[in-house]
Amino acid sequence: MRVLVWNEGVHEANQHPANIGEYYPEGMHGAIAAGLRKFLPDDAEVSTATLADPEHGLSAEVLENTDVVLWWGHAAHDQVDDAVVERVKEHVLGGMGLLVLHSAHFSKIFRSLLGTTCSLAWRNEGEQELVWTVKPSHPIAEGIPHPIVIPKQEMYGELFDIPDPDDLIFISSFAGGEVFRSGVTFTRGRGRIFYFSPGDQEYPVYQQTEIQQVLANGVRWAAPEPGERVLPQVSNPPRQWLL
């Protein structure tokens, strides 16, 4: 299994917030990658890439050798090249797994795959978030406490403007009373997509064990079966093709 953690890396580069280097010394991508390495099988290869890399680190060659991409973005969605987004989209439709994290609800790739505004309510006051499992039979919920308690987190609230998900796995509540569908899956083409909202540049959420476990479960679930990456295509079979 070949996993690529993509992070725009802008908060880290700008040291904004100023103390981000304290809880994310290797960047959020570094923390996420380290968490995955703890929970995925030993032969899983976990690498990272950022916006500043050539082709944002998402060249055709890289994608052809990637099973699952995790995507974190916030301040620089607009700076992601449209051609790269299109390339990632084709790989997802052809079978590559995609995990969309937190503020990447507004990323080009997520909005393009979902077709909606992906808008939501938000408030950044460091509120407690409780993440409740509502589909315990789903592989992504395997071994996850009910609820996960996140001491301080940005609030994301409904209405979250997404299509009906294939599966609703987690619902969060916040100290202020809002709720959010915080763990949802989608299928687009042959690709499996998991959106998970906990995680932010201001709070060390990706250092939390249960969060790392959810992400590792998500990667395992989204990884395609071995085989060619094939975009669904038009065909024009003759009448008797089955004979």
Contact footprint for a copy of itself (CB under 8 A): 93, 95, 112-117, 119-123, 125, 127-128, 130, 132-137, 139, 142-143, 146-147, 149, 157-161, 163-164, 166-168, 171-173, 175-179, 181, 186-192, 224-225, 231-240, 242
CB of 25 to a copy of itself, least distance (A): 30
Q: 52 vs 149, which CB is nearer to a copy of itself?
A: 149
The residue among 48 and 103 lying less far from a copy of itself, judged by its C-beta, is 103
CB of 99 to a copy of itself, least distance (A): 15
66 phi/psi in degrees, rounded to 5: -125, 135
Nearer to a copy of itself, 27 or 191 (CB): 191
DSSP string, 29-83: HHHHHHHHHHHS-TT-EEEEEETTSGGGG--HHHHHT-SEEEEE-SS-GGGS-HH
Q: With respect to a copy of itself, which residue has the nearer C-beta, 15 or 117?
A: 117
Q: Which is nearer to a copy of itself, 184 or 205 (CB)?
A: 184
CA distance 8 to 11: 8
Q: Cα–Cα distance between 51 and 55 in angstroms, integer?
A: 8
The least CB distance from residue 113 to a copy of itself, in Å, is 4
Which of helix, strand or coil describes residue 212?
helix
The smaller minimum CB distance to a copy of itself, of residues 81 and 161, is found at 161
**Residue 135 Cβ vs a copy of itself, minimum distance, rounded to whole Å:** 7
State in angstroms the smallest separation of the CB of 81 from a copy of itself.
Answer: 19
Residues 51 and 10: beta-carbon distance below 8 Å: yes
Please count the residues of the chain: 243
Distance CA 70, CA 27 (A): 14
167: nearest Cα among 146, 187, 143, 147: 187
Place of tokens 């084709």: 90
- Least spacing, CB of residue 124 vs a copy of itself, in Å: 9
